[in-house]
């Protein structure tokens, strides 16, 4: 061990004194809470006060795409943050509106300028859709114009969304065919098409994604439930004497690729019967992921 000299003591003191400004602000949750929580000193440093040297609009040539996505009206009304008070390295979470798809989201300014973070919905676009010109794009508006007309009419950026490929993973905003409410579903789940070499989507994905999660179960399973109820009427549960004799079960069939055999779908059938009996008296909400993977 080194001998404790005056020089070593001075160096040790200097090293420890560096933490004197850091440690008072380090508390439980300091990394996850807002910067102002638990802070003893006023925020008057160079990075906490908006000046011409750090104002975001002063860097319009460099951060033009960032400034274009700002939701100025919502920031002023809900957060009382005008455009002139936003800094290029601002830690505050403000509102943005994507200039491509029109989605509204909330993020720090610093993660947009430093780490190039952007719209959460546009994250699922393929690289060829962002960089353009790498692969042949079959636009949704040209391949499926009737499907492109079902996009949410309240979104003014529908022409940009309709220009994406029919195999895109982008989760567009659609209008539900049942209740008319907006919901999100990927473009390729609506079209059922994928790029060569990719894993195919489920055969029933276009039918399930045509409705919002609240309406998809009843729209897709109610016809099947009615058919099963008609076939089950007058037969003992769960298959009758035909199966006991080793013959073909008259209740076993296949509807739209879904097997309705009583031996393999007894629990599902009971659920369908209960839902069918309560359909007129109670509103129920289901998610399509409970039916197919």
Examine the fold and report which residue of 201, 217, 233 is the final residue of a domain before the chain moves on: 217
Asked if residue 114 and residue 37 are part of one domain, the reply reads no
Query: Number of folded domains in the chain?
Result: 3
Residue 239's pLDDT is 47
Does residue 23 belong to any structural domain of this protein?
A: yes
Asked if residue 101 and residue 85 are part of one domain, the reply reads yes
Token pair in block for residue 203: 């055969």
Examine the fold and report which residue of 171, 188, 217 is the final residue of a domain before the chain moves on: 217
Spell out the residues 6+ positions from residue 258 whose beta carbon is closer than 8 angstroms to its own: 204, 224
Does residue 203 belong to any structural domain of this protein?
A: yes
Report the distance separating Cα 106 and Cα 95, nearest Å. Answer: 5
Does residue 60 belong to any structural domain of this protein?
A: yes
Does residue 229 belong to any structural domain of this protein?
A: no
Q: Identify the domain containing residue 18 by its residue range.
A: 11-45
Asked if residue 73 and residue 38 are part of one domain, the reply reads no
Examine the fold and report which residue of 217, 241, 260 is the final residue of a domain before the chain moves on: 217
Rounded mean pLDDT for each run of 10 residues along the chain, 293 residues in total: 75 57 52 55 65 91 93 94 92 92 91 87 74 74 92 90 90 90 93 89 91 89 83 57 46 47 49 55 44 39
Residue 89's pLDDT is 87
Residue 56's pLDDT is 94
Does residue 71 belong to any structural domain of this protein?
A: yes
CA atoms within 13 A on the CB side of 283: 4
Long-range contacts of 264-272 (CB under 8 A, 24+ apart): 266/238, 269/228, 269/232, 269/238, 272/221, 272/224, 272/225, 272/228
Residue 122's pLDDT is 85
Does residue 201 belong to any structural domain of this protein?
A: yes
Residue that is written with structure tokens 């509204």 in the block: 104
Asked if residue 90 and residue 32 are part of one domain, the reply reads no
Does residue 94 belong to any structural domain of this protein?
A: yes
Residue 114's pLDDT is 87
């Amino acid at each position: 061990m080194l001998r404790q000299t005056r020089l070593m003591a001075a160096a040790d003191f200097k090293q420890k004194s560096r933490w004197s400004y850091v440690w008072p602000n380090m508390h439980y949750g300091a990394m996850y809470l807002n910067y102002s929580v638990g802070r003893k000193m006023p925020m008057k440093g160079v990075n906490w006060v908006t000046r011409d040297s750090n104002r975001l609009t002063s860097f319009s040539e460099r951060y033009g795409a960032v400034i274009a996505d700002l939701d100025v009206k919502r920031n002023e009304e809900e957060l009382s943050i005008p455009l002139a008070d936003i800094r290029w390295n601002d830690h505050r979470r403000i509102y943005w509106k994507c200039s491509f798809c029109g989605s509204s989201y909330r993020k720090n300014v610093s993660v947009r300028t430093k780490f190039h973070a952007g719209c959460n919905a546009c994250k699922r676009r393929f690289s060829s859709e962002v960089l353009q010109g790498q692969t042949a794009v079959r636009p949704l508006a040209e391949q499926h114009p009737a499907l492109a007309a079902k996009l949410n009419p309240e979104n003014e950026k529908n022409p940009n969304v309709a220009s994406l490929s029919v195999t895109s993973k982008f989760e567009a905003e659609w209008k539900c065919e049942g209740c008319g409410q907006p919901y999100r579903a990927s473009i390729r789940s609506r079209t059922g098409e994928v790029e060569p070499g990719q894993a195919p989507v489920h055969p029933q994905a276009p039918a399930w994604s045509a409705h919002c999660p609240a309406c998809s179960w009843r729209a897709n399973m109610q016809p099947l439930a009615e058919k099963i109820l008609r076939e089950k009427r007058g037969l003992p549960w769960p298959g009758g004497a035909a199966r006991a004799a080793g013959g073909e079960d008259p209740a076993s069939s296949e509807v739209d690729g879904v097997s309705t055999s009583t031996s393999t779908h007894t629990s599902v059938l009971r659920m369908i019967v209960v839902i069918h009996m309560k359909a007129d008296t109670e509103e129920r909400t289901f998610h399509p992921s409970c039916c197919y993977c």
